A and B are shown apart, each in its own frame.
Chain A
C-alpha cells in the first residue's frame, strides 16, 4: 500500500537508433491525482495494449514457472526486456549512487562516524583489540557468525509471521524500526553535523526540524506520498543505517560480514527452502504485495489499498508479474518488468562497503574503484534478471566485485598511482 504518482519522465526519443531500445514509457498506471481518463501520449501506446488485457489475466498459479507475465502482443514479448532494461538499470543506478554519495560525503566530513571509541553493537560482542593477528581474525569470524545468525533468525521469524498472517505484528515492527531511523538516528546525525561545522543551534528548532522530517517520512513511507519524496526518504534511511554500521562494526568484522551476507543472500533467495524464497512464494500464492515500507521502487506500480472502484483496470503488482522481497534487515531480491525494485538492505550494504573504503585511508581512488565495481555488479545482476526473470539476490555479484576491487586497489593500485603522481607520470 504505497501509493504515489507515476514518474512523469517522458522524454521523446528523436533519434532512430535510440527509439528502439530506450523507452521513455513507464507503466501507464494513473496516479491518485491524475485523471484516469486523460489521453495518454502516443509513445505510451504499446504499453496500453499490454495493460488492457490485465483484468483477463488469470491469477498466478502455484506453478513456479519463472515468470508470470500478462498476455502481451507477441512482437513486444522480446522487446520488453530490452526496452525496460536500460532505463531501469539507470533508475537503480541513480538512487544507489545518491546513497553512496551521501554516505561518503558524511564519512569524509563528519569525523564522528569514523571515530572508534570501543563501543560495539551487541551483535558483535568480540573485540578486535587483540594482541595477535590470529586472535583478531578469530574474533571477527565469531562476530560474523553471531551477526549472520541474528539475521537468519530474524528472517525466519519474519517468514513465519507472514505465513501465519500476523500482519499487524509485522507492520508494527516495521513502523517501530522506521520510527527509530527517522527520529533517533537522524537526530544523532544532525547533532554530529552541527558539531562538525560548529553551528549554534537550540533545542526547540531541532525539535521542530526532526519532528517534521520524521512525521513526513513516516507518512511517505507507510502511507501516501509523492514517489520522489518517498524514494528520497528511503535513500536517507539507508544512508543512516549504513553510517551506523560503519561506525559500530569493527574493522575486520565488517569485511567478513559483507562477504558472509552475500553468501547468505545467495542461499536465502535461490535455494528452494530459503526463507526469502519462501516469503516470495507465499506472497505470490496469496497475490499480495510484501512489505512496501522497505523496498525502493523505481516506478509506481503499487495500487493496492487505493483502489477506486471505477478504475479496476489498474495492474496490481502481482498481475504484472513483479514480485520482490525485503526483510527488515537484508532485503535481497529484485525484479524487473514493470519497474525494478531493490531492497533497502542492498542499498545499506553497498553503502557500507563504499563508506568503509572511504573511511579507511584517505585514498579516493579506492572509493571510486569500489563505486564503479558495485555499479557494474548491479548491472550484471540486472542482466541476469532479464535473462532468468525471477527474483534474484542483488548482493553477491556487487559485493564480490566491491571487495575484490577494494583490497586490490588499496594494496596494489594505490602504491603504483602514488608513485606515478609523485613523479607526475601519466598513464
Chain B
C-alpha cells in the first residue's frame, strides 16, 4: 500500500495498452478520435446494464445476500451481452461513416481501413473497461492501509492489475476478430467471441481463487490473440520477416526522416 504498489499495478494493468496507444495511435488524429468514440460506446453499454441492474435491485429483496449475488451475476452476464451488442452497433456506425466519408472525399480509398478501425475500437473498449475496473483500486492503493486484514486475499491489487491487463488485451483482440467476422459474415466466429467474453467474465466468479480465474484467462488471451493475428492477415512467414527485419514493405514504409 505505497507508491510502489501504485506504480507497479498501474504499469502492469495499463503498460501494454499505453504502449500500443503511444506507438500506433497517438500520431494519427483520426485513430485517436475513433478510440475515444469506442470508449464512449463501452461507457454507454455499461450505463445501460447498470440501469437494468439497478432497477432489478430496487425491486428485489435487499436483505437476502444470495439473491443480491444472483442479481450481480445476472448483471455481469447482461453487461457482457450489451457490450458485444454495442460493439456490433459501433461496427455498423463505422461502416456507415466510412461510406459517408468516402462519398464526401474525392479520394477512392477510405482514409482509415476497417481493420485499423477494428483495432482502434477494440482498444478503446479495452481502455475504458480497464480504467473503470482499475482506477478506483489504484486510487485506494496510494493511501495507507493493509490489504486483506480481515482475511481476504492479500493479492487483491496484483491480481486486479493482471486481470485488467488481460481484459484490455482481450478487448482489443475481440475487436479485431469481431469486425473481421462481421465483414466476412462468419456468424459462428462472432458467437465464439461472445462466448469467450462470457467465459472470461464467468471465470472471475471464482475470485479470490485466482488460480482458477487468472490462468484460464491468460490462456484465452493467448488463443484469442493468435486468432486475431491470423484474422488480420498475419502468418508465420510475415512474423519471420518482421522479426528478422527483412520485411521490405514495412521498412520502406516506416522510413521517415526525423
Is B110 an interface residue, CB under 8 A from the partner? yes
Select B43's contact among A20, A369, A426, beta carbons within 8 Å: A369
CA distance A16 to B159 in the complex (A): 42
State the main secondary structure of chain A at its contact with B: helix
Is B204 an interface residue, CB under 8 A from the partner? yes
Select B29's contact among A14, A22, A365, beta carbons within 8 Å: A22
Residues 84-112 of A contacting B (Cβ, < 8 Å): 86-87, 89-90, 93
Is A363 an interface residue, CB under 8 A from the partner? yes
Interface size class on chain B is 35 or more
Contacts of B109 in A (CB 8 A): 16-17, 20
Residues 10-57 of B contacting A (Cβ, < 8 Å): 27-30, 32-33, 36-37, 39-40, 43, 46-47, 49-51, 53-54, 57
Q: Which one, B85-93, B100-108, B177-185, B224-232, is touching chain A?
A: B100-108
Is B72 an interface residue, CB under 8 A from the partner? yes
- Contacting pair B201 A425 (CB below 8 A): yes
- Contacting pair A412 B54 (CB below 8 A): yes
Q: A425-B76, A425-B205 are in contact. Are A90 and B136 (CB under 8 A)?
A: no
The 8 A CB mask of B101-138 against A (1 = contact, 0 = none) is: 10011110111110010000000000011011101110
- Contacting pair B105 A12 (CB below 8 A): no
- Contacting pair A20 B136 (CB below 8 A): no
Is A40 an interface residue, CB under 8 A from the partner? no
CA distance A28 to B234 in the complex (A): 41
Is A177 an interface residue, CB under 8 A from the partner? no
Q: Which one, A192-200, A258-266, A371-379, A392-400, is touching chain B?
A: A371-379
Select A426's contact among B133, B253, B254, beta carbons within 8 Å: B133
- Contacting pair A365 B207 (CB below 8 A): no
The 8 A CB mask of B155-173 against A (1 = contact, 0 = none) is: 0100110010001000000
- Contacting pair A426 B201 (CB below 8 A): yes
Interface residues of B (CB under 8 A from A): 27-30, 32-33, 36-37, 39-40, 43, 46-47, 49-51, 53-54, 57, 68-69, 72-73, 75-76, 79-80, 83, 101, 104-107, 109-113, 116, 128-129, 131-133, 135-137, 139, 156, 159-160, 163, 167, 200-201, 204-205, 207-208, 253-257
Interface residues of A (CB under 8 A from B): 11-12, 14-18, 20-22, 75, 78-79, 81-82, 86-87, 89-90, 93, 362-365, 368-369, 372-373, 375-376, 379, 405, 408-409, 411-413, 415-417, 419-421, 423-427
